[in-house]
Every structure is written in C-alpha cells, then in structure tokens.
Amino acid sequence: MPLARFINSYGQLPANCFVRMAPESVSSPKLIKFNNSLADDLMLDWADLCPDTLTKVFSGNQVPDTADPMATAYAGHQFGNFVPQLGDGRAILLGDVSDQGGRLYDIQLKGAGRTPYSRSGDGRAALGPVLREYLISEAMHALGIPSTRALAAVSTGDMVYREDRLPGAIITRVAASHLRIGTFQYFAARRDLNTLRQVADYAIARHYPDSLQTDNPYLALLDQVIDAQASLIAKWMNVGFIHGVMNTDNMTISGETIDFGPCAFMEAFDPATVFSAIDQHGRYAYGNQPRIGQWNLTRFAETLLPLISDDQDQAVNKATDQINSFSSRFRSYWLNGMRTKMGLNDHKADDLDLANELLTAMQIGQVDFTLGFRNLGDAQSEKGRERFLNLFAQNGPINQWLEKWLSRQRKENLNPILVREKMNRVNPAFIPRNHMVELMIADAVAHNRFDRFEDMLAIVSRPFDDQPEFSHYADPARPEERVRRTYCGT
C-alpha cells in the first residue's frame, strides 16, 4: 500500500531552494507516540498500518514511496546577526499532503540526520527537546493558537552528545508550510530575484491566494503576513507564551508558531521574563515579543522591495506604511484578547487602561498569569473574589481595579454565570508548566517512562476544562521547583 499521496509541491521550485536527500537511518527505533487524530485530519490512512511500518517511517528508516525527501534552504537573523546560510541542518521534508478541506500540510522529520546545511551539528535531536516540542505544540493548538503540530515521536536507539550523552529521538512535525522569513532572506541576500519571485508566488498560492485579486500581490503578501503575525504574537501575549528564539528563520510566512526550543509559559506576571539560556540580554523576553515581531517583519519587507515596485522609493514607501501598521494591528488584536479574558463585551475608550491596570496590579502582586485570569472568572461572587485576591502577594491596586471591573460588569448587565463560562473558554486552567515539563522529560530520559508525558498531553489537550483530578498540574511551581533556564538542546 502506498503511504499517503504526497504532493511534493516544494520540489517544483528552482533547484537552489533545496537539496534532495533521504533521512539517515537509525539503529533501533521505537515509536513513542503517534497522533491518530491529526493523521485522520490529514486523511493519512496510516492508522491502519502496522506499528512497525509507522516506526520505520517516522524514524527515517523507510521513505514512503511517493515522498520527495529534501532539506530546504534558508538564511536568517539570529539574535540580530545575519547568517546568509542556515537551512534544514537536521530536518528532512518528506513532502506535503492535503487535508479534508484541500489545504496543504508539510510533513517533516526533525532530527533526521546530517544534511549539507548541518554546519558543525550532528543532524540529530535529543529525546527531551522532542518531547517538549510535541507537548507544547499540541498545547498551543488546543489553546487555539496557530502552531505546527506533532504527528509522531520516535526514539532512535542512538545516543547524541550535547553537554551530556542523551538518548536521541525524532519528531515528525506538520506545518501549513515551512516557509520562513529566512527563506526569503536566503534569495534576497544572493540577489536571486528570479527564485525570490517564484518563492513569493508559491507563498501567495499556498497561503494568501486572495493577494492575486489586488493591484500589487507582493504588497498584499506583506500585508497579510504582517496581519497573521500581529494576530499570532497577540495570542502568545494573551496566554503568557515566550517563544525564546524569535530569529527570522523561526518566523513563518503562514502565521503559525514554529520551532519550540527553549520556549516556556510565564508564571508570575513580569514582562521582563526570559527563560532561554542562550538569550543572555533578554532580546526575546516576554514583553519584547511584539517589537521583535515588527523588527523581523521589517527584514521580510526588505526582501520584497524589488518585487513590490521597480521604483525603489515607491517600494520603500509602500512597505514602510505596512510595517508602521504593525503596532496598531497588534494592539487591536491584543486588546480584543484582553477584553475576552476580562469577560467584557462592549468596546469602551478606557479598555486599554483597564487591561494595563490589571496587569500592573498582577505584576505588583506577583500573581501567576494563568491562575490570575482563570480565577477572575469567579470574582463576581464574594467567595470567588476572596480566592482571586488570595493570589496577590499584597493587595495594592487590585482592590481599586476590582471595583472598576465590577461596575463595568454591572453596566454591561450580563449574566454572571454566562460571563464566567465565556471567560473559562479563553482563560486556560492548564498550560504546560515548565517545572512539570522538566519532570516529564526527566522521567523519559532517565527512566524511559512516558506516563507523565501521556498524562500531560491529555491534560493540555483540554486546557479550558477543570480537571480536578489533575489539579497539581494547574499549580505554579513552588520556589524550590522553579525552572529559570530552558535549553534548545540542539
């Protein structure tokens, strides 16, 4: 039986966009997890295959007949410095498949061995980061945040050498595409206008076909990528997600979150929060993410200038207007998110103040971001209010804020039970808390035990449901449990 009908659209781009090659084989692969429901959505008839075949496919030991495996080329700004050649140093794109709605999805093995883009790397991934990516990308999806998905995880039976000797693994990731800002930068840096145009046309056809109805499709592409990223980063900010490595090669054209390296969810609210061990200056701190998003989009706009107009001044003016619109678009997405988090329906002039005052009070009170919003849903009743206030280390400005919020709720005259229900559908009870993620990884790496991984995956796949039996997964880390640094593991 052929394994899926791969479409292999990327292979139709010019030959300098990729290097065709199969994954390197591994010694004794074991299937850790297969995402059946995602496979169904993608109409992959793989669920019927024997586990042995799945293990071979997801370890790279067997390439599906119709696949056209390749490593793709891209460049990127890493921590502000331009690197003209990065590319898939440890990932192999098998090809793309179509879901039930006719949308295309890439299927890619990450950790599949060395490629011409590996530089000094070994082309492999360690088990810990693979499980982290699996869990957090699925959590993001369940939270309603555009994200690449996890289709499978396998252990390879081979060891990888980082600071420690670690078990190796491969994650199979599914993405609306793997086009990144860095893909455009690769061809712009080489002044290869011909390939750049073909990549842009491909991006338009795949993600933003409406652009073709406008006078200037490349400007429309820029417009829509800016919009998708403004919306995405607003969603991150609304759940306290910190990506950790917002390099331009880790920012998609589709508007999906990609590359879950040292990412983490913030606990006590503080915009300066940084987890990533490699982010020494806090470039990618929680509160900087919108600004960095705009900076990255500016790099994207630069690559498109020659396509937008032959007249450079005109191209720059048009692109600059687009880039300048990022802040107001982001603010509007973010504020809409905050309104629903606060259980407000109407749009009022002082909503922005109300949102910011709440965050200030949470920061002063050192309140856990997730619990704070989850408990706010109960704060219309006296008892619930007490529980909400108990989260604050000191009461400070929160009492005043609550008065304002309650009077606003009364003015909107909404049914408190319905308001609470609505708030609970946007304010998660469960996020993948960092200290629990670390425990889950330690269980797997040191003891080859995956029950905590399975538990956490089940819990964060229903983030808005109260799951009283798992309430300890909803609790913030105690001081001695706190994880301050997260690692890429690359």
**Which parts of this chain interact with ligand AMP (CB under 6 A)?**
86-90, 117-118, 121-124, 245, 249-250, 259, 261, 488, 490
Residue 227 touches Mg ion, criterion: CB under 5 A: no
Question: By CB under 5 A, which span of 246-254, 328-336, 340-348, 375-383 interacts with Mg ion?
Answer: 246-254
Nearer to Mg ion, 279 or 368 (CB): 279
Residue 259 touches Mg ion, criterion: CB under 5 A: yes
Residue 322 touches Mg ion, criterion: CB under 5 A: no
Cβ-based burial of 285 (10 A; exposed 0-12, middle 13-18, buried ≥19)? buried
455 is catalytic: no
197 and 283 Cβ atoms separated by less than 8 Å: no
Smallest gap from Cβ 272 to ligand AMP, in A, equals 23
Can you point out the beta strands (E) in 247-292?
264-265
Question: Which of Mg ion, ligand AMP, none does residue 261 bind to, with CB < 5 to 8 Å depending on kind?
Answer: ligand AMP
Nearer to ligand AMP, 86 or 429 (CB): 86
Residue 267 touches Mg ion, criterion: CB under 5 A: no
Nearer to ligand AMP, 124 or 141 (CB): 124
172 forms beta bridges with 109, 152
Question: Which of ligand AMP, Mg ion, none does residue 90 bind to, with CB < 5 to 8 Å depending on kind?
Answer: ligand AMP
- Given candidates 250, 296, 370, 409, which one binds Mg ion under the rule CB under 5 A? 250
Q: What is the crossing angle of helices 312-324 and 289-308, to 10°?
A: 150
Smallest gap from Cβ 250 to Mg ion, in A, equals 4
Smallest gap from Cβ 123 to ligand AMP, in A, equals 5
Q: Which residues contact 353 (CB under 8 A, 6 or more apart)?
A: none
Nearer to ligand AMP, 39 or 441 (CB): 441
316/305 Cα distance (integer angstroms): 7
Question: By CB under 5 A, which span of 46-54, 58-66, 242-250, 315-323 interacts with Mg ion?
Answer: 242-250
Q: Of residues 68, 106, 227, 249, which has the active-site annotation?
A: 249
Smallest gap from Cβ 179 to ligand AMP, in A, equals 15
Cβ-based burial of 190 (10 A; exposed 0-12, middle 13-18, buried ≥19)? middle
Question: Which of ligand AMP, Mg ion, none does residue 67 bind to, with CB < 5 to 8 Å depending on kind?
Answer: none
Q: Structure tokens of 10?
A: 């990327």
Residue 231 phi/psi, 5° resolution?
-65, -45
Residue 88 touches Mg ion, criterion: CB under 5 A: no
Smallest gap from Cβ 249 to Mg ion, in A, equals 5
Nearer to Mg ion, 77 or 420 (CB): 77
Smallest gap from Cβ 148 to Mg ion, in A, equals 11
370 and 431 Cβ atoms separated by less than 8 Å: yes
11/100 Cα distance (integer angstroms): 22
Question: By CB under 5 A, which span of 40-48, 245-253, 280-288, 437-445 interacts with Mg ion?
Answer: 245-253
Smallest gap from Cβ 87 to ligand AMP, in A, equals 6
Task: Give CA 64 to chain center in angstroms.
Answer: 27
Q: Structure tokens of 396?
A: 């400070």
Nearer to ligand AMP, 90 or 132 (CB): 90
Nearest residue to the partner Mg ion, using Cβ: 259
Nearer to Mg ion, 70 or 361 (CB): 70
| DSSP letter for each residue of 56-75 | HHHHTSS--TT---EEE---
C-alpha neighbours within 13 Å on the C-beta side of residue 134: 32
Q: Which residues contact 117 (CB under 8 A, 6 or more apart)?
A: 19, 71, 73, 85, 86, 87, 88, 89
Per the rule left: phi > 0, alpha: psi between -120 and 50, beta: everything else, 91 is beta
403/405 Cα distance (integer angstroms): 5
Residue 183 touches Mg ion, criterion: CB under 5 A: no
Nearer to ligand AMP, 39 or 94 (CB): 94
Nearest-5° Cα angle at 168, 153 to 488: 85
Question: Which of Mg ion, ligand AMP, none does residue 45 bind to, with CB < 5 to 8 Å depending on kind?
Answer: none
Smallest gap from Cβ 454 to ligand AMP, in A, equals 26
Chain residues in the site for Mg ion (CB under 5 A)? 250, 259
The residues that are catalytic are: 249
